[in-house]
């Protein structure tokens, strides 16, 4: 797939779930997507890949056209990021659900080291 990261970012922004704050930063020739400050998506010429685990990852990989993220054909597959099928990118409602699932599966943010919380 030959995707354009900026177009993938726009698709994510259009499909942003309520209550999930998405932000984006350039990274290694692509864009990294963050949900509430935590990495959740890789947007590159390979496509839009969401960080998924467990049953969500298995379910996504079962969809036709989904695949573990590989930036290069001979690179090892990612164990956490899955490239979404092209058909899902055109379905804002479906994409919204997957973004929400990816954001919900992220571990809670750790507090700053050295701070004592009561």
Per-residue model confidence as pLDDT tens digits over 54-105: 999 999 999 999 999 999 989 999 999 999 999 999 899 999 999 999 999 8
Reported as a single tens digit per residue, the pLDDT across 84-95 is 999 999 899 999
Pick the more confident residue, 114 or 41: 41
Please state which of the four CATH numbers 3.30.1460, 1.10.10, 3.30.2000, 1.10.287 is assigned to the domain occupying 5-104. Answer: 3.30.1460
Q: By C-alpha distance, which of 7, 13, 79 is closest to 45?
A: 7
Residue range 103-114, pLDDT digits in tens? 998 766 655 554
- Number of Cβ within 10 Å of residue 108's Cβ equals 6
Q: Tell me the pTM.
A: 0.86
**CA–CA distance from 87 to each of 3, 12, 77, 83 (Å)?**
13, 14, 22, 12
Domain spans, the chain: 5-104
Using CB atoms within 10 Å of the CB of residue 80, give its burial: 0 to 12 exposed, 13 to 18 middle, 19+ buried. Answer: middle
By three-state DSSP, how is residue 11 classified? helix
State the Cα–Cα distance between residues 117 and 3, nearest whole angstrom: 45
């Amino acid at each position: 797939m030959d995707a354009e990261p900026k177009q993938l970012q726009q698709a994510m922004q259009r499909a942003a779930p309520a209550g999930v704050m998405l932000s984006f930063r350039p990274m290694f020739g692509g864009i990294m997507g963050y949900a509430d400050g935590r990495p959740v998506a890789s947007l590159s010429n390979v496509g839009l890949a969401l960080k998924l685990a467990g049953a969500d990852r298995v379910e996504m990989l079962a969809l036709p056209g989904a695949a573990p993220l590989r930036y290069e054909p001979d690179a090892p597959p990612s164990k956490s990021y899955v490239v979404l099928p092209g058909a899902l990118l055109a379905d804002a409602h479906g994409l919204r659900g997957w973004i929400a699932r990816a954001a919900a599966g992220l571990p809670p943010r750790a507090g700053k080291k050295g701070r004592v919380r009561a």
